[in-house]
Structure 1
Amino acid sequence: MTSWVEADLAEVCTLITDGTHHSPPNSACGDFKYVTAKNIRPWGLDINDITYVDAETHRGIYARCPVEYGDVLYIKDGVTTGIAALNTLKEPFSMLSSVALLKPDRMVLDSSYLKHWLNSPGAYRSMTGEMTGTAIKRLVLKQIRATRIQVAPLPEQKRIADKLDSVLARVDACRDRLDRIPALLKRFRQSILAAATSGRLTEDLRQSGAIGDAGAQIAQWLKERSNTDKKPPADPDLTHWDLEAPLGWIICSVSQFAECLDRLRVPIKRELRKNSSGLYPYYGANGEVGKIDEYIFDDELVLVTEDETFYGREKPIAYRSSGKCWVNNHAHVLRAPTKTANDYLCFALMYYKVIPWLSGTTGRAKLTQQALNTLPIACPPGTEMMEIVRRVETLFAFADRLEARYAAARKQAGQLTPALLAKAFRGELVPQDPNDEPAAELLKRVAASRAEAPKARRGRKSA
């Protein structure tokens, strides 16, 4: 890197400024696009949700910030500070002050090289270490202009930028493919559960003649609970049910399959939870939400989300709890007669399409205890149920291993971009050519050329 040199950004840019400091009226249609930090992405401008300003407003902003095609845009305010992008629009537009405009001197500095350098870990540390502000952190133009940049010979800059464009495009493509895996795994798990609770997963058992009697099993469970149940279990509400039970299975309600223990739930104020040492899990609609010193349950349970707010989320709506715990009144509590039955019940309810059974206003609807008790589920005989649970656990373990490998690969992919950028600006990404004019000589020549150029005369200010 003997041919490289350090310089202030102000030395290698012809203009460093930002957009308007007063947010103008803007709307979904108008004369000129209005770009803010939300529109800046490392790959360019995202104009999917762009807004517009009128021509008069644009003239005032553009006089201060004349952005052109190929200029570098840099977020300098807020949580996304540090993202740089090339301007890919060939039309004039207005900008807010959250975005800085850097016009590189093309005789000294390549635009793509500057963009990549601004996105590098070293540049980020240099920039953000000087951020000011309390409510919203921001960089001021003076700090940006004084930031030091490693300037390579101009031909080498172009080689570095071209190499980074090529390699980072492959990294982004890899990351995009990896990002599709969580959705695939979710569909895989859902398909396993759908096959398990419809009988398709164990169809081979029934074809071999292993057919039990789920009806007798349910009758036995209800007989055992008859002394503790305060009221008889509800029949299944089949209004929205369209699946037929396989041979030997029975369609029963949740309350016929398991006992509802909602009467034992107790909510606790957050202030009291903060003062506890956290011996036992404290469950709510979204799973474990904290720890608490006491417990009200010590059993194998299935907890079911009560609030509509949590339906359609990534997490399943039912989950298992084993051992001592506390449950608040945002999760229903179910207990099946055996651990195997408990596991099967959880599998049946994890992604249950409960929306038709909800009651209340949209956005605040709930799965009431009464509705939960009438949810229909397909119940297999005991022996087949055990095999279903075993197969589901095996397939889920396989999915968990895939998920762990995905997480490791995603972490590695996330480290590639900063590692490549750091390597590039250490001078290690592309070969150096001794025939390239050293950056220091180029800067001297350009500085001398600027000094010899006649200064533009200022016009008289209008009154």
Structure 2
Amino acid sequence: MTDEIPLGWTKAHISEICDVSKERGREGITPYLEIGNVDIVSKRYMFTDKLSVRGCQMAKQDDVLISRVRPTRGAIVWIRESELHVSSAFTVLRDCGTLSKKYLWLFLAWNRAYLNHLGDNCTGTMYPTTSEDAITDFDVPIAPLAEQKRIVEKLDAVMARLEACKSRLALIPPLLKRFRQSVLSAACSGKLTADWREQNLIIENADALLDRIREKRLASAPTKKEKARIDEVFDEGNLRIDEGDLGLDEIPDTWFGCRVGAVGAVSNGSTPSRKRPDFWGGAIPWVSSGEVRNNIISATRERITKAGYEDSSVRLLPRGTVLLAMIGEGKTRGQTAILHIEATINQNIAAVVLDHGLLSSAYLWRWFQLQYEATRERGSGSGPQALNCQRVRELPFVLPPLPEQHEIVCRVEALFAIADKIAERYKNAKANVDKLAQSILTKAFRGELLPQDPSDEPASLLLERIRTQRISREAQQSTSKKSHRNGIKRVARQIHKTLKI
């Protein structure tokens, strides 16, 4: 917000135009407002079933509440109820009669300069907390009261239209998510390439392709243990997957349902000792599970040295390896990536190595994306939710003929490119709407949103009256307190005199 104000306006500290209410609330009352009930974007609040707690405050209609805890997040609300019990972590600002309702809230709620001011006056690190003095030590441009009302009415109308625009824009991300999921479902069930199959002769069905994969894997298996594992996964009782287990209605006759362990070697990595600085900062890329997020990995946040590589059980994975996060916070578990570089991985990632060249890495990557929720379910348990390499080997997989795999990948990439363009346009549109809202607020409190009316009483006169009224009120309160104290003293002297007699 700017320092420039038009003729007839004035400026005042929040402390000059508002009282900080200390009115206490009662315990066990609903509704009750806590900081966590505030949407920091829209500044709206919602209630839960939680009852008010001891030490809470009472706010009244048109009060402005400002969170003292982590104030830069902007939990600033205007109270619409006649009375409301609120958390003691709010500072309750009550207008002294200088402001039209919502005027102060509209000025402060999205005001980055004000939020930065609060942030600069915080103490504590985990839960930075500001003071009431800091909250009230900020200048507010005061328009004439009549103009304030016009500004608030105009902002209400404009912001309502912007909110409607934001609401419509907010529909786009979930629509894009459903679109991508529908594309993946059609791709991995054969529907996306139904026309391609009609126009192209399938020379090698997927079951024959799988036989070739088995032969190549057995021929290149480095140990008897790995050969035994391949034989085990290709055992008829272990290999086949019912279509119901695939999560698909049906697949083409030329496709084959099997397990991930049949098409690639599954292994995980490790983490060289963090206590050894000489193991880190080298030239060998090392992937953590947090870097696996449905992406292509062309670089890593960390690298290990040759000493770290040789001291741990990591192995250098080839380009085209598909990664699956087995353990991770939040959404990480079940997410996937493709290596576009040679790299090592940590112990929480499963690598599916496809060095036989008979399966498209991009197709397997997209299959894992389709199966994200189902894969997460397979990783659930009574302890920490996680997958392991054996569970990854047992995951279901649908294998199309090799030429069709490449066609699927091409079509998916083309459709996803369209979705990406729409997502970028959405991102830009949302940013423009956010900027427009801020621009409108800035203009409003600069006096540029509406023309001034010369007949309006200057704000300086209004402010002077409020100051005079506050001084008079404070003097009356001081006199009342003094009279009350004198009365107590008279009673005390009377009691003392009576007891003495």
TM-score by length of 2: 0.78
Counterparts in 2 of 1:387 and 1:84: CA distance versus 1, 3 Å:
same
Q: Deviations over 1:303-337 (max 9, x none)?
A: 12223x568x3886222112211111211111223
- Which residue of 1 is the match for residue 258 of structure 2? 252
- Which residue of 2 is the match for residue 427 of structure 1? 447
Amino acid at match of 2:351: V
Is residue 118 from structure 1 mapped to residue 108 from structure 2 by the alignment? yes
Distance 2:317 2:376 in 1: 30
Match of 1:76 among 68, 80, 95: 68
Distance 1:67 1:435 in 2: 35
Distance 1:340 1:86 in 2: 59
- Which residue of 1 is the match for residue 301 of structure 2? 290
Is residue 67 from structure 1 mapped to residue 97 from structure 2 by the alignment? no
Q: Following TM superposition, by how much is the alpha carbon of 1:44 offset from its aligned partner in structure 2, in angstroms?
A: 6.0
Distance 1:412 1:314 in 2: 31
Q: Deviations over 1:97-122 (max 9, x none)?
A: 3211111123x211211111122234
Is residue 219 from structure 1 mapped to residue 211 from structure 2 by the alignment? yes
Whether contact under 8 Å (1:81, 1:138) holds in the other structure is: no
Match of 2:403 among 367, 383, 388: 383
Whether contact under 8 Å (2:317, 2:353) holds in the other structure is: no
Amino acid at match of 1:76: R
Gaps of 5+ in 2: 1-5, 222-226, 293-299, 306-314, 493-501
Distance 2:173 2:247 in 1: 29
Please identify, of 35-44 and 72-81, the stretch whose mean Cα deviation from structure 2 is larger: 35-44
Amino acid at match of 1:247: D
1:357-368 superposed matches below 5 A: 358=378, 361-368=381-388
Match of 1:205 among 191, 196, 213: 196
Distance 2:374 2:35 in 1: 40
Counterparts in 2 of 1:287 and 1:83: CA distance versus 1, 3 Å:
closer
Distance 1:406 1:297 in 2: 37
Distance 1:278 1:216 in 2: 44
- Which residue of 1 is the match for residue 346 of structure 2? 328
Whether contact under 8 Å (2:67, 2:75) holds in the other structure is: yes
Q: Following TM superposition, by how much is the alpha carbon of 1:375 offset from its aligned partner in structure 2, in angstroms?
A: 2.6
Please identify, of 153-162 and 409-418, the stretch whose mean Cα deviation from structure 2 is larger: 409-418
Distance 1:228 1:19 in 2: 78
Whether contact under 8 Å (1:72, 1:84) holds in the other structure is: yes
Q: Secondary structure at the match of 2:65?
A: strand
- Which residue of 1 is the match for residue 423 of structure 2? 403
Counterparts in 2 of 1:201 and 1:273: CA distance versus 1, 3 Å:
farther
Distance 1:185 1:170 in 2: 24
Is residue 39 from structure 1 mapped to residue 29 from structure 2 by the alignment? no
Match of 2:433 among 405, 408, 413: 413
Q: Following TM superposition, by how much is the alpha carbon of 1:134 offset from its aligned partner in structure 2, in angstroms?
A: 5.3
Distance 2:332 2:80 in 1: 35
- Which residue of 1 is the match for residue 144 of structure 2? 153
Gaps of 5+ in 1: none
Pairs aligned (count): 443
Distance 1:357 1:237 in 2: 17
1:188-199 superposed matches below 5 A: 188-199=179-190
- Which residue of 1 is the match for residue 476 of structure 2? 455
Amino acid at match of 1:162: E
Q: Deviations over 1:209-231 (max 9, x none)?
A: 53342222221222122223322
- Which residue of 2 is the match for residue 52 of structure 1? 51
Distance 1:150 1:356 in 2: 54
Q: Following TM superposition, by how much is the alpha carbon of 1:187 offset from its aligned partner in structure 2, in angstroms?
A: 1.9
Whether contact under 8 Å (1:273, 1:291) holds in the other structure is: no
RMSD across aligned C-alpha pairs, in angstroms?
3.3
Q: Following TM superposition, by how much is the alpha carbon of 1:45 offset from its aligned partner in structure 2, in angstroms?
A: 5.7
Q: Following TM superposition, by how much is the alpha carbon of 1:197 offset from its aligned partner in structure 2, in angstroms?
A: 0.9
Whether contact under 8 Å (2:322, 2:352) holds in the other structure is: yes
Counterparts in 2 of 1:88 and 1:44: CA distance versus 1, 3 Å:
farther
Distance 2:384 2:137 in 1: 53
Whether contact under 8 Å (2:66, 2:77) holds in the other structure is: yes
Counterparts in 2 of 1:316 and 1:113: CA distance versus 1, 3 Å:
same
Counterparts in 2 of 1:227 and 1:275: CA distance versus 1, 3 Å:
closer
Counterparts in 2 of 1:210 and 1:274: CA distance versus 1, 3 Å:
farther
- Which residue of 2 is the match for residue 12 of structure 1? 17
Q: Deviations over 1:284-309 (max 9, x none)?
A: 333357321457123310112223x5
Whether contact under 8 Å (1:18, 1:97) holds in the other structure is: no
Amino acid at match of 2:406: M
Whether contact under 8 Å (2:71, 2:115) holds in the other structure is: no
Q: Following TM superposition, by how much is the alpha carbon of 1:175 offset from its aligned partner in structure 2, in angstroms?
A: 2.7
- Which residue of 2 is the match for residue 94 of structure 1? 85
Q: Following TM superposition, by how much is the alpha carbon of 1:419 offset from its aligned partner in structure 2, in angstroms?
A: 2.6
Whether contact under 8 Å (2:188, 2:367) holds in the other structure is: yes
Q: Secondary structure at the match of 1:227?
A: helix
Distance 1:310 1:452 in 2: 59
Amino acid at match of 1:115: W
Match of 2:324 among 279, 297, 304: 304
Counterparts in 2 of 1:155 and 1:48: CA distance versus 1, 3 Å:
same
Counterparts in 2 of 1:335 and 1:355: CA distance versus 1, 3 Å:
closer
Distance 1:202 1:85 in 2: 53
Q: Following TM superposition, by how much is the alpha carbon of 1:383 offset from its aligned partner in structure 2, in angstroms?
A: 1.8
Q: Percent identity?
A: 28
